[in-house]
Structures are given as structure tokens and as C-alpha cells.
Chains A and B, each alone.
Chain A
Amino acid sequence: MWRAELRAKTKNKDRMLIQRVKMPELAPGIRVKHQDREVNIGLNPDQAQTEATRCMDCSNPTCIEGCPVSINIPKFIKNIENGEILKAAATLKETNALPAVCGRVCPQEKQCELRCFYVEKLDKPAVAIGHLERFAADFERNSGVSNIPETEKPNGIKIAAVGSGPASLSFAGDMVKYGYDVTVFEALHEIGGVLKYGIPEFRLPNSVVDFELENLRQMGVKFITNFIVGRTSSFDDLHNDGYKGFFIGSGAGLPRFMDIPGENFNAILSSNEYLTRVNLMGAATDKKDTPVLRGKNVAVIGGGNTAMDSVRTALRLGAERAIIIYRRSEAEMPARIEEVQHAKEEGVEFMTLCNPLEYFADGKGRVRRMRLNRMGLGEPDSSGRRRPLPIEGSEFELDVDLVIVAVGVSPNPLVPACLPDLKVTKWGTIVVDEEKMQSSISEMFAGGDIVRGGATVILAMGDGRKAAESMHHFLQKK
């Protein structure tokens, strides 16, 4: 009813006249000095309401189809237009355990916003769904009022989730709503997985993650840290403790290196190591014991979001030159356009169509120089992107004193190593039925990077939701 009234209040042709809001950003000159200040400042209530008015509340909302966790997008946006921000936040929480996270890190431009009526039919900028999601989630967090989603009566069935990253968190959020007794086991000393150790403070503050984790706790999800399932206790031990279902969300925390000469010299780190030191262990501040190496001339190898996070962190830690080295061209870079844009504004240099060959060190074994060659693009390879090929005679050298290797991650082998009956691919990803997310061991389901290889937070969450629904049916049938 209220939706019909709201639609009638403003004509669509007037809605279409409103320009898409521009997210206010901290100036590049300021933000490169601060590891912990968010770049995107967030919309204010007026901006949010105006942007929400652009949404035409389509009778066939294609935007929802673009969302891996099926958020009821028109409903939450119309609540914002109606001034009911807390109701908007509640709508988000119906399907999304971590709305403040998604509102910040989802590639909306490839997902919900790509399917927006404005884009599909009008060739105009989409409604800023991501910015609005963040606005609603942040509003709720700052309001002090916490809406705990309803859960079914507890059914006493114990469920274990392995890993506390986005896949397990969203799985746990749904399972606890179904009434299950869910415990999330985490190997590290902090909960959140890649949300805490991988994504920097200037994109996703840990305090925002903590708030959403607290919400899950309020719903009844239990968390145990410093616990490696398969090592601290075996899966058999957990069976004997009464756990009936398992979700493996142990992620793709295994760094990939290029295996080129000199790669083991000091001051050449994987992006996992670099970001874990800074984001999880707070190494950029003297207050924390964990050190991090700083460089004046920093090279980051790679072109994805992790590479962007690494190179922008290096700038904030005092690099005079922070360089992205990527073997394909900018058009092929997998990183979000927004991240590339922000990086350029901050002064990151982009050396595209370049590939590292070898590293050289000083007398103490610390890297000081690297040799690269230039690349040309040939025919597309199996990923669909044009294959980079070295240009003969194009070798050159670069002075570097810190190198971050961000060329991808592989599935962490710890859990599969403990389960010989678990079917895995040759790359170490767990094989699952794509609809049910069920593995070769019937009570074990899996999702996120351990199934996909390095992917995104939101895809992991979508897997978690699918697995929860599917495990629920599996257990109810038994």
C-alpha cells in the first residue's frame, strides 16, 4: 500500500531527471596519509533520500536478479525514500548478514546496478544501490538501535562452520534463523577472515565488521577463535561432540608466487602477508608489536582488488613511488574501476603490459632492483582475456625496495588434507554440487573461495546462503 502511494507521489519522468549522486570522497592528498580513514565518506540523509527517489520501484525488478544474495532492493530503497531508514536496514538484514560490508565492497556495477532499469533500458547511470545499502546499514549502526532479525525456535541441532569469513558468516546467519545451533570455528585470533585481514581500513573498517559480527552473536551464532578444525580437533571429534552438519568456508588463503629468480629475497612479500601485517596485526602503528617493512619504491605485481589494496597501503605507509605492474592492459584488469580510479587519484603509477623476470638484492639480501619485460596482447586464452606475450628485446630494470606479489591465491590446503574422502580438484578447490553446495561427503557443504578459488565477498555470501538452505533441507529429510 505504502509503496503504491510512494510511487504515485512522484512521476517517473521527474524521477528520471535526477542525476545519480556522486559519493563524497576524502581528498587524495589527505587520504594517502591515513591508513585508517575511509576514502568513501558516505551519503548524507538528503543525498540518500534524493537518490532513493530515482528508483522507479519497477513491477519486474531485474536488479534483484543481479544480487547474489537476492536482497529485496526496491523495498529497502523505497523505505529510504519514505524516511524509514531503520526499516530499510531491516529489509537488508532479511537476506544479507553483512549489509555495511556489501554496501562498501560489492562490485555493484557488475551485479545489481548492471541490471537496473536505468542501465538496461535507458542507457543512463544506475540507481546507486550500493551507496544506499551502505547508507542504511551505517545509519542503523550509528543510531544505537540494533534490529535483530527473527529466528525460528531453536531445534537443538548442532552445526559447525569452518572459517569465519563471509561465506561462513552468511551461512551461519541463515542457519541460526532456521533454528540451528551454529558454531563458527576460526583458525586466527580474530573473526571475519578476509574482511579483517585482507580488505584495508580505508575501504572497510574493522569496526564496521565487528558491529555486524555482534549482530550475528545477538542472533545466537557462537564463535570460537584459535581453533583449526581438523587439527585442534578432528572432524571425527566434532561428530562425536554431536555436530550434524559442516560448512567449509576456509577460504583461498594460500598465496601464489611467480617462481622467478630472486623471489625469496627479503622485502618481497605476498599480498596476504603484507595486508595481514597491516590490516589484521596493525603493523603500521608503533603500538602494535608486529612489524611491517616499508619501502620508498614499491612495486605491486598484479591487477586485481588485492593488488590495488596493497599498492594503496604502500602509499599510505610512506612510499614515494607505488607502482602497479600488470602483464595485461588496463582494460583487462580485474580490479573494480572505482579502486583503480582511487588509486590513480592517490598517485599510484600503472605500468601495464609489463611482467617481472628477476629480482636482485643488496649485500644483506634485501631486494633493490628488478628486471622486467614488456608484453603485447595475443589471442584470448581460456579466461577469455587476450594472452600476454613477451616482446623480444624489451627488457628493462626498475629500482625497488619492496615488492608485493598479488597475483592470486589458491585454496588453503589444511582442511582438505584432513579429509581424504573429500573430493577436490587438482587446484585444491572442494568439489560441490553447484546448486546444493554439497560436497562428496554428504553432511559437508562448502562455499566461497575454497570452492571458487580467489573470488569476491558477495559470491562467498551467496554460496553461504545456498548452502544453508540446502543443508536445512538435507537435515530435515533425515
Chain B
Amino acid sequence: MNRIIGKEYFSDKVVKLVVENPLIARSRKPGNFVILRVGEDGERFPLTIAGADPVLGTITLVVQIMGVSSSKLVALEVGENITDLVGPLGKPTHIEHIGTVLAAGGGVGVAPMLPIAEAFKKAGNRVISIIAARNKDLIILEEEIRRWSDEVIVMTDDGSYGRKGLITAGMEEIIKREKIDECIVIGPAIMMKFASILTKKYNIPTQASLNSIMVDGTGMCGACRVTVGGRTKFTCVDGPEFDAHQVDFDEMLIRLGGYIQEEKRAAEIYSQKL
């Protein structure tokens, strides 16, 4: 179980893995995530399920190399097993036929955005997708997103691909151009914060998919807690998607930095070992 049957490098930092897990492939819905562990000494960490094939019994994960755990995952070869994999976790995205949906994905956030764009398109919505990243190397899944969108805008901070500029600039243009009924934002917390401020200005209902630190992922520990609408919620069981306008992104950004020293140290030790 959990055998890697496909591996593809989108860039030297972003890798797509296709993993055998028939039960999760069958029961998963868009918006769900899994918790994984690589090796007996590995930590538990979450990844959104970017896609699934219930017939073949596989799920697709997209990993950006950040620190030790993502490096260990990406170091696995086709044919090897992921030590532990559990899911599907989290509340699935609420999908409905609402009109026009603006899906804004930053960096590796485009991977979890893909199944959501697909679901909204299949539900009969007009889907406009904006995918953005720092540079060309970090733009992923453009073809797959095009398949499920009526329009796609690609943006890079440095202009190395697509249009030059921040995702919020692209979003605002579209919002001014046509009526948007709902917005989805997925990406680095800072991106979601500013995207949310933008859509709030225009009163567009917005869902953000949060990438909080997790340990168990089943609601047991509270590591992933976030304040939404003044109340504490757990990203793993109440989310991962929340009403973006209610999320305290500043607090979330602080909490994301909770283990920065430990992460740095671990990455140093790991790179020395290699």
C-alpha cells in the first residue's frame, strides 16, 4: 500500500507523485487532504489531494520541497512505499452552481486548487482561474487548470512567464470586468491574506484553504488551530477551507512560524547528512 507508481518533476522544486491507495482514491472528495509520514523517524505532515482515480485506485499529490519532510518524500523513487498515509481528512469543498467562480492559486496552492476548479466547472459554473508564482519554475499544472477553466491568467512576480505582477492585481482586473459570485484562494498565507482583503472590498464571498501546521490531522491536538470569526477552529476538522473574510490571517502567519528555529536546524542537519 502507498506505493509510488508515478513521479514527475514540474521543476527542481515541485514534484508530482501518483500513489496507490484505492480506499482513499474512492472516498476522497475535492478539498480533502491526507497526512503522510516518510520513514519510521518521520514527522506527520499534511498534503492536499490534487487528484484521484478511483478506477485505478490512485491519488495524486503535488509537493514543493521546503524542508526535511518534503525532501524525504521527494527522495522516494517509483516503486517505493510511503511509510504512512491516512485520509481523506478535512471537510470537502462546498460546491454548488452559483454562476461565476474566480479561482486564485499561488505557487503550489494550484495543486489543491485543481480539483476544486474541476468540481465547480462540472457543477456548471463559469470558472476563471488565475495561477501565480514568483517565477516560471514555480508555475505548475497550467494545462490541467486550462482543462477545467473558461479562462486562465498566468502571472509571475518577475515576469519570466505570463503577465508580470502580483496575483491580487490580476484578480482585481477580473473583478472590475465582470460579476464574480464566489472566489477561492489557495496559496501561501500571506497571499491569501491580501487576496482576501481585496475580495472583501468588493463583497465577494471567498473561501481560503489554510495550510496550518498539523500533527495528527484528526482533530486531536489543536496544533492547527486558527481564529475564524473570533472563535477558535481546527483547520484539520473544521476546515481546511474557511470563509476567508473571517480568518485572522495575522495570527495564522504567527502560528505558521511557531517552529521556525527547529525547522532551520533540522534542514541544516539533513543537508549535512546528504
Contact = CB atoms under 8 A, between A and B. Distances in A.
A19 to B, nearest CB: 44
Given A233-B27, A264-B251, A264-B255, A412 B221 contact: no
A364 B68 contact: no
Interface string B1-37: 0000000000000000000000110010000000001
Contact of B221 (A231, A232, A263, A272): A272
Nearest to A252: B220
B27 A231 contact: yes
A189 B218 contact: no
B254 interface: yes
Contacts of B254: 265-266, 361, 364-365
Nearest to A188: B216
B232 interface: yes
Interface string B234-274: 00010000000000000100110111001100100100000
A349 interface: no
A259 interface: yes
Interface in A267-294: 267, 269-270, 272-273, 276-277, 281-282, 286-291, 293
B255 A226 contact: no
A290 B225 contact: no
A253 B220 contact: yes
A422 interface: no
Contacts of B43: 281, 288-291
B165 interface: no
A255 interface: yes
B218 A414 contact: yes
B85 interface: yes
Contacts of B215: 273, 276-277, 281, 290
Nearest to B68: A289
A228 B68 contact: no
Contacts of B255: 264, 266, 365
B79 interface: no
A361 to B, nearest CB: 8
A44 interface: no
Contact of A269 (B27, B44, B222, B266): B222
A187 interface: yes
A257 B225 CA distance: 11
B87 A255 contact: no
A289 B222 contact: no
Given A269-B223, A290-B44, A259 B232 contact: yes
A300 B251 CA distance: 23
Contacts of A232: 23-24, 27, 86-88
A234 interface: yes
A272 B222 contact: yes
Contacts of A227: 23, 86
A384 B222 CA distance: 30
Interface string A209-232: 000000000000000011110011
A430 B222 CA distance: 22
Interface string B159-178: 00000000000000000000
Nearest to B91: A417
Nearest to B42: A289
Interface size class, chain A:
35 or more
A357 to B, nearest CB: 17
A288 B258 contact: no
Interface on chain A toward B: helix, strand, loop, or mixed SS? loop
Contacts of B257: 266, 364-365
Interface centre among B39, B42, B218, B227 (most CB of A within 10 A): B218
A264 B41 contact: no
A429 to B, nearest CB: 15
Nearest to A277: B215
B223 to A, nearest CB: 5
B219 interface: yes
Nearest to A232: B23
B220 to A, nearest CB: 4
Given A189-B86, A266-B257, A293-B259, A253 B27 contact: no
Nearest to A225: B84
B219 A253 contact: yes
A413 interface: yes
A454 to B, nearest CB: 12
B223 A273 contact: yes
A259 B223 CA distance: 15
A255 B84 CA distance: 24
Given A276-B215, A287-B41, A187 B27 contact: no
A236 B63 CA distance: 33
A424 interface: no
Contacts of A273: 215, 221-223
Contacts of A253: 216, 218-220
Nearest to B217: A187
A272 to B, nearest CB: 5
B71 to A, nearest CB: 11
B219 A231 contact: no
Interface string A343-372: 000000000000000000100111000000
Given A226-B84, A281-B44, A413-B219, 5 more contacts: A253-B219, A264-B226, A264-B255, A266-B254, A281-B215
Interface of B: 23-24, 27, 37, 39, 41-44, 68-69, 83-89, 215-216, 218-223, 225-227, 232, 237, 251, 254-255, 257-259, 262-263, 266, 269
7 closest A-B pairs (Cβ-Cβ)? A365-B254, A291-B262, A273-B221, A253-B220, A189-B84, A290-B43, A226-B86
